[in-house]
Amino acid sequence: MARTRGSWTGRGLTARSLLNPKQVATAVFHPTWIPPSLDPSIERLKRIRVIGGAVASIGVYTLFEGGFDATQLMENALIASVVLLFITPLVVTAMLFVWRRTGTVRQLRVPLLNALKLLLLFVGCVATLVVLVTTINATGNALVIIVGGLTMLWMLGFVVWGAVRVSGNFFGTAAVHRCLPALLATVTSWLMALPDLVTGDLHGLSLTLGIVFILGAPVTVTVIALAEMGRLKRRYGVRLKAHPATLPPVPGHRPPTPGHLPPTGLPHVPPQGNPFGSPYPPAAGGNPYAPGPHHPHTPPPPPYAPHPSGHPNPYAPGRGGS
């Protein structure tokens, strides 16, 4: 693949936009080198998959265990980041072994490095937020609490919205292969639920609620991911086992050609006017058969007036009126 040119954020950030954590997170965690979705239906499937992934990462059972627990939320986010840090390279490496039959790793070097940078950046931001929250909770200094609290609020919005963005593009792995985000979301959601399934830890919930909330998220993510990959395969010929360099080009939306537009106007009406012009154009001196100039108040001459030269009019009536 060709190297992505331009800035990481597309030079869309200004000094004023730095105050908005959502805008900064969008620019940082959804950089310009990530390809856009192929059609709106796939984008809708990604949004639904993001919701299921959030359920798997945060753990809805914390809301039923005894109210919203921010400490448990931060622990789950940190555990999910560590899982992503190890699972994402492993899954991508496994797919590289599958793709090596029809292509080389060198062709994917640039998007792979970009995806790794985005992964490390997100994990580093989550770890920074956890350290900041721990420091504020442990200190008794009022200044540190005020300044650190404002910074923590900004970082919290930044990381939460960044998590939403990377859950959709899964660290820009769509730049490597269009099916990788769906595959990584499926593997990660099952690995997040696997410890609870093995240990049988329902976190104080009943058996029915525990099974629903433990298996509900990974099953939902898997179904949506399969639908997403199936649509990519049917509509665009994108197969997970095929090397990205061998995939067919994505068809673009071409505007209609002006030369093939239908004629305008009312149907069944012939064109008005003579398309060939007048076959006998008037002479340069005007119409040769037009009457000569005369005063507008002067009566016209009689039709049978005598000729000025004195010659009689051969067509004049006789003396008898006949």
Per-residue pLDDT tens for 132-191?
888 888 887 888 888 888 998 999 899 988 888 887 788 889 899 999 988 998 898 888
**Residue 310 C-alpha from the chain's centroid:** 97
Computed on alpha carbons and rounded to an integer, the radius of gyration of the chain in Å comes to 40
Domain parsing of the chain, residue ranges: 40-246
Whole-number percent of the chain with pLDDT over 70 = 65
Residues found in the chain: 322
Has residue 260 got a pLDDT over 90?
no
pLDDT at 247: 84
Beta carbons of 202 and 214 less than 8 angstroms apart? yes
- What is the pLDDT averaged over residues 84-111? 89
CA torsion angle for 273, 276, 278, 279 (degrees, to 10)? -150
pLDDT at 103: 84
pLDDT at 259: 44
**Residue 319 C-alpha from the chain's centroid:** 102
pLDDT at 255: 41
